[in-house]
Structure 1
Amino acid sequence: MSIQFFYEKNLEGVANSVKRKQEQYRKIVRHLYYNDATSIAGIVKAVHISQPLVASLVDDLIGYGMLLDSGVGESIGGRRPNLFCINPDYQYVIGVEINLHTLNLAVFDLSNNQIQKEEIKYFDLEDSEEYLLALVEMIEMLISKLDVPKERYLSIGVSIPGLVDAKLGLSYTHLSVAANGLANYLAERIGLNVLLDNDARIMALGEKAFGKAIDKENVLCLNLTNGIGLGMILNGELHSGKNGFAGEFGHIPIEPNGELCHCGKIGCLETLTSGKVLVQNVKKAMEKGQPTILAQYQKEGKKIDLRSVVEAIKAEDQFAIDQLNQICEYLGKGLVTLIHLLNPEMVIIGGRMAHTGKYVLDPVRMSMNKYAMRRISSETEIVCSDLLDNAALMGTMANVMRIALNLD
């Protein structure tokens, strides 16, 4: 899985020499991407390359357009040093967030700024050639809106629900009709490198790079939308498992005599606590005449889906809050298993249900207090994401850059 910066495609010379120089360039670029503007002396200290060579390499990267001279810094004795930084407009990254019912697209510069964003509502995920063609069309339309040649795009990062083998670029749950795998399909038709992964893991990368998991080593990131996804940061790294299937938290068996799950098994956690279950429970009660402001939403022509239920909870509709409390009992119970096994320092609740804030946090905490060993659970902070709907798109950017800057 290789991504090349634009300047790297034109490096010439003996293979070993080119590889060595490429590694030296990337050490500098990596340091400047993850840190503020830095002087030559600061770069030398960080990358452990001699000062004359660093100065020469930085000059090369400025000539390529990859770096910029960003002025002078504070003096620590003697002349004030020149500072250098990444050129944010040198290349761009495209983020694609595939959801069950919507599609979100964004273009990022190398300073992680979203310079273009598109949300396509009612873009229902279907395992069909027609959906694939529409997806390619949406990405191409996004590219056409910016006056940027394709070679200036570093990569496309894609997140999708379900089982995903990121190394092979394969999506097993959705869009398995794509020839040679979804990543290869998109790369061939769009002409850009594509990195694919599961949505919950991508969200975890977003939290680690830009959210509440910054500087944290062991964090569980829950994607609570229609289903339940789990991304795990363990010992500071994304944990994917042998084939990239780690984190199927929603399919832990909880109720032996429970409902049939869409995975084919009986009584999965997801059949007891998920956005889908919350909406189903709300609709059943409404059919029996349950008083709720959701009935007014329905009269106004609003669809009774997870968005509208979350809206009702935020509006302090007691019925909707009670329904959320009921499913959070199971969610907290399931989380106790993870906390006892992994002893994380933080659990971040993300996805659509994170918009409810305290209304999802409080019952989950109560359930955990009921079932967890206090000595372990008291060391685990439970919070809602600050990134919310941006987590997956930000995660696609983080995923592309961690691969692009990997020095292994």
Structure 2
Amino acid sequence: MRPEFKYEKELAGTANAKKRKMEQYRKIVSHLYVIGKASIADIVKQSKISQPLVASLVDDLLGFGILLDNGIGESIGGRRPNLYCINPEYQYVLGIDINLHTLTIALFDLNNQLVCRQEFKNFDLENSSIYTDQLVVKVNEILREMNISTANVLAMGVSIPGLVDAENGITFTHLSFAKEGLAFYLSNKLGFSVLLDNDARLMALGEKAFGKAKGKKDVLCLNLSNRIGLGIILNGQLYSGKNGFAGEFGHILIDPDGDLCYCGKIGCLETLTSGEILVRNINKALEKGQASLLSSKKDKGFSVDLRAVIEAIVEGDQFAIDQLNKMGEYLGKGLVTLIHLLNPEMIIIGGRLAHTGKYISDPVNMAMNKYAMDRISSETELVCSELLDDSALMGTLSNVMNEVLGIN
């Protein structure tokens, strides 16, 4: 079900009259969401609705509680105007970032401010209702802790890896047990609307709304965590492809004689470069006696996982850095194909491995410079995300608000 504000569910009248009223209200709310605060005159200019009607609609929205009087603005000749803004506490948006081994839940107000964030480690993703039941419990616990009712949740955005049909709320790689689709399944369990999409596409949406892709037209957003995902922004719009499956960058062929990938094909990029591969290769070397800062962790019985590897890289562990360099070479080769095809102005490295900064960007840049046409690669900027591994989480917020307010 499409997310609706509380007041929209209470509107009376015929279907056509209600639809028209909702559209007029949303024009005003959308403008204030984007701009922050505005006067009646500003809203009239943007909405193309008459001044008397805008004044009446704003009065309605103030009565509903979704708008607040924001005081008096500066005069541009004549009487100083009243300014209006969205009430950030009118409703909230939940954001869920599902990863292979962690679950992150965040709560945002209508000013895009983070109200709370909880990360659950060792929350292993499995294709069963047991997993979703645990997720629902965590969500409800957070809402209780924050004293927020389900009626005050506008919607929940979900980021999940793998193949996703976002339009119909169906997942094909993970949590595909729900025949009616994961979005509908969770919505029934929780009592409010649920929107979901692939994690890399939501990462791109997060970067477009709040990160380094803001104001850019053609950007590739890499989600480098345990696996590899790609979000594509073309001509300022998120590109999803025919069925919403665009961006499976990790499964392009790199080595025809390589290893079997979990997708069933041979020699995919993910068999050579990903967080999982990096951890696996490092653990194999440590077992053979390789010197590293990580050796003592392993000797003490601690798990050498991706977090530990990233910490070692940031601390300057030469062996871990060398392993990341090798991975960056393969990654850069793969990106060259995309650069030649799409000619992006920027490539953003996000996800867990973005925490390594120059240790991942430098080898990728070197490989791109080595294998790509100079005229094309020289105009492609490679950067690490400032949102880091929260970019997909921010993308869930943007996805919900875009859907509710019709923002492109």
Structure 1 length normalisation: TM-score?
Answer: 0.97
1:245 aligned partner: 245
Question: What amino acid sits opposite 1:206 in the alignment?
Answer: G
Structure 1 residue 178, shift from structure 2 partner: 2.0
1:363 aligned partner: 363
1:170 aligned partner: 170
Mapping 1:277-316, distance limit 5 Å: 277-316=277-316
Q: Does the alignment pair 1:148 with 2:148?
A: yes
- Matched-pair contact (CA < 8 Å) for 2:354–2:389: no
1:385 aligned partner: 385
2-structure distance, mates of 1:374, 1:148 = 54
1-structure distance, mates of 2:235, 2:4 = 28
2-structure distance, mates of 1:399, 1:173 = 21
Greater alpha carbon shift after TM alignment, 331-340 vs 386-395: 386-395
Structure 1 residue 378, shift from structure 2 partner: 1.4
Question: What amino acid sits opposite 2:321 in the alignment?
Answer: I
2:100 aligned partner: 100
- Matched-pair contact (CA < 8 Å) for 1:132–1:178: no
Q: Percent identity at matched positions?
A: 65
Query: For 2:38, what is the secondary structure of its paired residue?
Result: coil
2-structure distance, mates of 1:11, 1:132 = 33
Structure 1 residue 407, shift from structure 2 partner: 7.1
What is the alpha-carbon root mean square deviation over aligned residues? 1.3
Question: What amino acid sits opposite 1:11 in the alignment?
Answer: L
Query: For 1:138, what is the secondary structure of its paired residue?
Result: helix
2-structure distance, mates of 1:179, 1:222 = 30
What is the aligned residue count?
Answer: 408
1-structure distance, mates of 2:71, 2:377 = 48
* 1:7-27 CA-partner distances (Å, limit 9, x unpaired): 111111222222112111111
2-structure distance, mates of 1:155, 1:172 = 22
Question: What amino acid sits opposite 2:358 in the alignment?
Answer: K
1:24 aligned partner: 24
Structure 1 residue 250, shift from structure 2 partner: 0.3
* 1:89-132 CA-partner distances (Å, limit 9, x unpaired): 11111111111101111111101111122111111011122212
- Matched-pair contact (CA < 8 Å) for 1:43–1:54: yes
1-structure distance, mates of 2:300, 2:203 = 34
Query: For 1:278, what is the secondary structure of its paired residue?
Result: helix
Structure 1 residue 46, shift from structure 2 partner: 1.5
Question: What amino acid sits opposite 1:394 in the alignment?
Answer: M
Greater alpha carbon shift after TM alignment, 222-231 vs 113-122: 113-122
For the structure 1 residues 407 and 379, does the alpha-carbon distance in structure 2 shift closer, same or farther, using more than 3 Å as the test? Answer: closer
Q: After TM superposition, which residue ranges in structure 1, 4 or more long, deviate above 4 angstroms?
A: none
Structure 1 residue 226, shift from structure 2 partner: 0.9
1:328 aligned partner: 328
2-structure distance, mates of 1:311, 1:60 = 53
Query: For 1:196, what is the secondary structure of its paired residue?
Result: strand
Mapping 1:331-342, distance limit 5 Å: 331-342=331-342
1:2 aligned partner: 2
Give the gaps of 5 or more residues in structure 2. none
1-structure distance, mates of 2:74, 2:286 = 65
2:43 aligned partner: 43
2-structure distance, mates of 1:341, 1:51 = 49
2-structure distance, mates of 1:389, 1:332 = 20
